Structure 1
Amino acid sequence: MYTTDEHDNRYDIEMQVADHHNLAQRVRYYQAMNVLDAYDKGANYHDANNSYVIFICCFDPFQRGAQFYSVNKHLNEFPDYRVLDGATDIYLNATSPRHEVPPRLQTLLDLVAHRGSGQTDEFGVKLKKKIAAVKHNKEWRADFMRLSLYEMDREYELREAKRRGMEKGIRQAVKENHLKLINGLIGLGYSKQEVIDFLTTYMHTAVTEAE
């Protein structure tokens, strides 16, 4: 989920179920995307708003036992001195039994982790009603299934191609999944130019190939 607040601070909120041991690198990528969006053409650097990348994880991302981790820059020679560049990385460990976050966020993490605690408050009741409504929305379920199948197909094909050491197979799997993705974007109403922009920006596809 990508959103902004009333001060135009930017928030990118992601879910991560499995630990692929590349979370910090992924967060750096999302921060870069937030920053590019924050700087309007010709704007002063001081006018850039804060950027937050928040990962809700179904595992402990740093294996330190905490429920809440936040990352900001600091000087290596003076660890207590923070460099205020406006970027903050936040990692939430939904599996932790600790209660280190505000009550409503705790309720959300409890729901993610399928825990019973904290879900009887008003916020928890609203969340569960929303989840139930979404699960019974046929259009959403169809989109979700298509995306889930795409992800599973992509992971399977790439894993098999890598296992066999077939570079050609990897390229073919990527091409086929790009076609699946394009069909999915068209089905969701994306225009041709929007699809091309998506492929070049987020999939790092060359413009000629995207076209």
Structure 2
Amino acid sequence: MLNELYADFKSKWTSFIHGEQMDPAELIAGAFMCSKLDTIYRVGVRSTYTSTEQFVKQFTSLPTSDVMEDLLRLIEIFKKHFTTIQGQTVYYPAFDHRRRLVGGAQADVIVDGTLYEMKTSKKAGYAWKEAAELLGYYLLNKIEGEPYPIRRLAFYKARFGSMEYVDVDWLENNYDLDHAARMLSKARRYGY
């Protein structure tokens, strides 16, 4: 049953990405299901379920009405800033060889060489951990041999509709990121 739910949503999502309209509530329900699947993929199943039906039910339950309203607002803000995504796009780029070493590393999206990290925090600005996470994705990309051509890093703060960019050339000219990538690789290899 879960395979069918996922396949159905994936088909609709693919059509949506290619420009077809999709009911926002249906989009949210599918994204809600996928977020739960993602958690299981990253950390495993940590709950005890008495039946397969009980386990599957968590994926079919809809978000509460207040969460649904909040997500609909975020969609409207997003539409104002990302009217059309043009160019080469990679959704959820994963840094396969090293991601397990760092507890899972999967970014949000790369569009035309810009790696976007999308945050829904209710606080303005960003925390150092968020900046470290985004830079960490870039460093993992370097360690992997740069499978993704990343020229800029960007934070998209969904609740505020704000975008902040950093050019990778500026970072490379002001910081020794090759050394940082080597240190990250060594630290994770030895379990630090």
Query: TM-score if structure 2 supplies the norm length?
Result: 0.29
Q: Which has more radius of gyration?
A: 1
Query: TM-score if structure 1 supplies the norm length?
Result: 0.27
Bigger share in helix: 2
| Higher RCO structure, 1 or 2 (CA under 8 Å, sep 6+) | 2
